[in-house]
A and B are shown apart, each in its own frame.
Chain A
Amino acid sequence: MSKLLITALLVLTSSVVQAEKEFLDHTNLMNHGDGHLMDMDGGMVMGQNTDVLPGGCDKIAATEEITVHAGHKYSENFPGTMYAFDKQEYQFEPCTKLTVNFINDDNIRHQWMMHGLPKYMYPKGMFHLEVTGPGKISGTLIFPPNDKTYLVHCDISQHMEKGMKAQLKIGKGSGDLPSIPGVSAYVIQDDYSDSIPEPAVKKPLTAAEKKAAKVATAAANESAVSGILIIGLAAGLILAPLLSSRFKGMAVGEVLNTVFELIAQGIGIVIKLIVWIISLVSSKKSIELSDK
């Protein structure tokens, strides 16, 4: 009986585990007031504002809608990161009403969090979308009239640091923020000076490439051989007449004897040369001294 129960449970387990990986569209949110919406599956919107005009805006200048993707796979274009949004820069007119459809392609939590909005209408000055993927959540806000660059990021520990960061400019913006992947550099940079790797893994060569490589190698070998050959040839041509006249009619022992004599003479010349150089230097010094 208990075994049957366990089996039944395990079947249940697998079916639910499977179900959890399906894409969830978080549209059924409970409104907690103050622009805070939430559901029981981890979907969350904070700072939603669909109709209140910020001070300085006469009317909604434009109504825009964007779809933003978040996930590990978007970090592929940025070596040295691990998470990213699919886009790193946005630009809108002042007083734009923007709806963000935030799609999380991972199986973990991600956020599209914006800071620096006027605190009198956005709690803590923040607009925030959060969803556990795979899933989608949407939120709307209205931007104030001033030109400003807003930081957009995922605040989960190390997600922004490892690439999930973007900037949103209203009007002309107020400059670029640091460490936006593909846009701006890090303030504090890593030291890669000792990152000289072993030879990279080579891709297996195709038949045509192999043939081409073989031809190239052969050509390289040929040229190397011919260069050395010419030097050898020249040396042989110069030395051969000398040697032939020197050793003409000698026995093997005599030849050896002559070779040793030659070597001894050579060494003698070298020593004389060194002594001459030393005497040159020391005599110079003595001359200088006597000048004093």
Chain B
Amino acid sequence: MQKKPLSILLGVAVALMPVLASAAVGLPESVEVDKGEVETICGSNEPEWREAQTIEGVKIQESLRCMPDNPAQIAAEVKGTNNISMETLMNTYYAADAIIKKNDMDGDGDPDLIIIKLEVAELNGHSPDFDGLVPTFDMAPGIQPGMWVFAPKSRGMATNSFVGTDANPLLRAPSPPIRVEQGDVVWLQLENSHYFPHTIHLHGVDHPWIDSSGEGNDGVPQTSDKFVLPGQSKTYEIRPRQPGTFVYHCHVQTHVHLAMGLVGMLIVEENRPNNWVQTFNVGAGQVRHPSKAVLEEYDSEYDLHYHAMDKELHGIIQKYNDPRLIARKMNREYDMTDSTEDYHTLNGRSFPYTLKESIIVAEPDQNIKLRMFNSSGEMLAVHTHGHKATITHYDGVEHNPNAQIMRDIYDIAPAQRNDLKISTKDDGLHSYGEGVWIFHDHREKGITTNGMNPGGNVSALVYKKYLNEVGLPKTIGESIVPLFTKKFHDRKYPVWQNIDAWNSLGEIDGKDYKAPPAAAPAPVEEGPKGIAFYDDVPEDNSISNFVWGLILGIIFYALFLKREMIMAMIASARGDK
């Protein structure tokens, strides 16, 4: 009788359950997720930087994108830091000895001895002093993979200002495209300011295997070069006889050092009289002072450097400070054969930041030269919307003009370069007319950032009439505002939020949701029987059954033997109650 109240209660609860549940048979509500802080899409706009202008006698093309290159910087890159006024130099971050140009040896009006200094900079690295990264370079909103780059020699601080941690404009991905003239004597001086050994290998560039002093000049530590140790410098000597789009990269632990970002384009421009070439194109993209030879055939020129990163690799330098730990994790524990590429960048950044820096600006009936370079670990398949380009050069070598082909997919092997000619002639073949035409890797992971779309190496070829006053494309699609939030890249923001009035593909609010008991399935007519041979092979349980039987038998036998004792126990238990 004591247990009765409880059983009555339980019985009532069970009886009421269907009634209670019927109050909530609906599914959880949609809820709108706050975007959080939205970045100013085109913030640090320098309107006067965008105009065509002449500084220090250097003609600088118009650059209508949101973030144009600093014209003073371009003047320094074209004339050399030794041939410009102190005022111009002070408007850049260049060291006074970053680019030295002198000795017009052939008397054709341009310098023929070019001394280029490169440092090695770490971006988004670790600090033992606070829980953050230094100096920071954003690949996309809130995305800061640790990277290494060759950087032009700069002066002063690594950061842009005293208050923030953002890197100064010379310290950025990708390693800058370098331009020299065919026949120039080039001393490429690597000042290894990093904490690991590095070298420079001049991939595809005409260079002697040993330099004038008998030292290695090919940058391969196993065969032709010593490490350039931290704090040391080394000068590579070249006098390239052949023009073309080539590469320079570190050849120490190449599999990881190249992936970390120590790789850039090296372009040898054809020899012309009075041909001052733009030694660096920091951040790649538009070349605002194209060479004489390029201008003979083209209206504008763009460097497009594609790269990809495995976030595990790029996180190592953010987790540890001790260089020995980093070396062990990177050289011995990280296994590249198990890696996956998570970040896909064009000129160091991913969509939507590519819209600020790496758009191609076109007008009808123009010829545009694109130099495409793939430094990722996999084949690229770049696709241009609205245009079919002609591939004029592979790996810096001109393709037979009669055999050149037009495509809308350009497959570029790792380390390969394709020079493309885009004609904006509106004939339905070269161009389908004016617009905002995106171009992107057509391996679908290439258009993601850490597997999430939109992102990756997407950018756009934008006709001038579709550019707004700050240099962003006048898009007519869905709003790109949510893409400029950290929330989106942190996977917190539903890609299709508010696509209609009641947010039918929004975030689910499952917080206080309790599912009702499942309804009984409606009776279903029995379908035709499956083939028994496949469906109903009975499991063979004989061994386990035998074992269980054996165990039970032993237990029963034991109980039988002790039956008197057990009976007595039961009796005594009863008696006590």
Q: Which residue numbers of A lie inside 8 Å of B, CB to CB?
A: 5-6, 9-11, 13-14, 16-18, 20, 30, 32, 38-42, 44, 46, 71-73, 79-83, 106-109, 113, 115, 124-126, 128, 130, 132, 155-159, 161-162, 178-179, 186-190, 192, 195, 286, 289-290, 292
Chain B: minimal CB distance from A17 (Å): 5
Asked if B129 contacts A187 (CB within 8 A), the reply is yes
Chain B residues lying within 8 Å of A290, measured Cβ to Cβ, are 569, 572-573
Q: Contact: B193 with A161, CB < 8 Å?
A: no
Taking the closest CB of chain B, its distance from the CB of A240, in whole angstroms, is 45
Residues from 112 to 165 in B contacting A, C-beta threshold 8 Å: 113, 119, 121-123, 125-131, 134-135, 153, 155-159, 162
Additional pairs, 18, CB under 8 Å, beyond known A108-B191, A155-B157, A187-B129: A5-B105, A6-B239, A18-B213, A30-B86, A41-B97, A44-B155, A72-B230, A82-B230, A107-B191, A156-B158, A157-B123, A157-B167, A162-B195, A179-B129, A188-B128, A190-B325, A195-B325, A292-B573
Partner of B122, one of A16, A128, A157, A186: A157
Query: Given A14-B213, A32-B86, A158-B122, is A108 in contact with B573 using a C-beta cutoff of 8 Å?
Result: no
Give the shortest distance, in Å, between B106 (CB) and chain A (any CB): 9
B323 touches A (CB below 8 Å): yes
Question: CA separation between A68 and B324, bound complex, in Å?
Answer: 27
Contact between chains at A107 and B126 (CB < 8 Å)? no
Please indicate the chain A residues that have their CB under 8 angstroms from the CB of B189 in the complex: 20
- Tell me which residues across on chain A come within 8 A of B126, comparing CB atoms: 161, 188
Q: How many interface residues does B have (CB within 8 Å)? A: 61
Inter-chain CA distance A240–B92, complex, in Å, is 98
Q: Which residues of A contact B231 (CB under 8 A)?
A: 71-73, 83, 106-108
Which 8 pairs, one residue from A and one from B, show the smallest C-beta to C-beta distance? A106-B231, A72-B231, A10-B212, A186-B128, A82-B195, A80-B322, A107-B233, A108-B191
List residues of chain B with CB within 8 A of the CB of A159.
Answer: 193
Contacts of A16 in B (CB 8 A): 187
Main secondary structure of the interface of B (DSSP, over half): loop
Interface string of B162-173 (1 = CB under 8 A from A): 100001000100
Give the residue of B86, B128, B155, B321 whose beta carbon is less than 8 angstroms from that of A130. B155
Q: Which of B90, B155, B233, B576 contacts A108 (CB 8 A)?
A: B233
Q: Are A109 and B171 in contact (CB under 8 A)?
A: no
- Given the known interface contacts A157-B123, A157-B134, the answer about A186 and B321 at a Cβ–Cβ threshold of 8 Å is yes
- The one of B90, B195, B232, B565 in contact with A158, judged by C-beta atoms closer than 8 angstroms, is B195
Q: Report whether A106 and B573 are in contact in the complex, using a CB–CB cutoff of 8 Å.
A: no
Q: Is residue B445 contacting chain A, with contact meaning CB distance below 8 A? A: no
Q: Are A289 and B322 CB-contacts (below 8 A) given A41-B96, A179-B128?
A: no
Instruction: Tell whether, in the assembled complex, residue B130 and residue A188 are in contact, meaning their CB atoms are under 8 Å apart.
Output: yes
Expressed in whole angstroms, the minimum distance between the Cβ of A128 and any Cβ of chain B is 7
Q: Is the CB of A190 within 8 A of B195?
A: no
Q: Per-residue CB proximity of B554-577 to A under 8 Å, as 1/0?
A: 000000000001000100110010
User: Which chain B residues (311-368) contact chain A, with CB distance < 8 Å?
Assistant: 320-325, 328
- Write 19 A-B pairs (CB below 8 A) sorted by A numbering: A13-B212, A16-B187, A42-B153, A81-B323, A106-B231, A106-B232, A108-B119, A108-B193, A125-B162, A155-B157, A155-B159, A157-B193, A158-B195, A161-B127, A178-B129, A187-B128, A188-B129, A188-B321, A286-B565
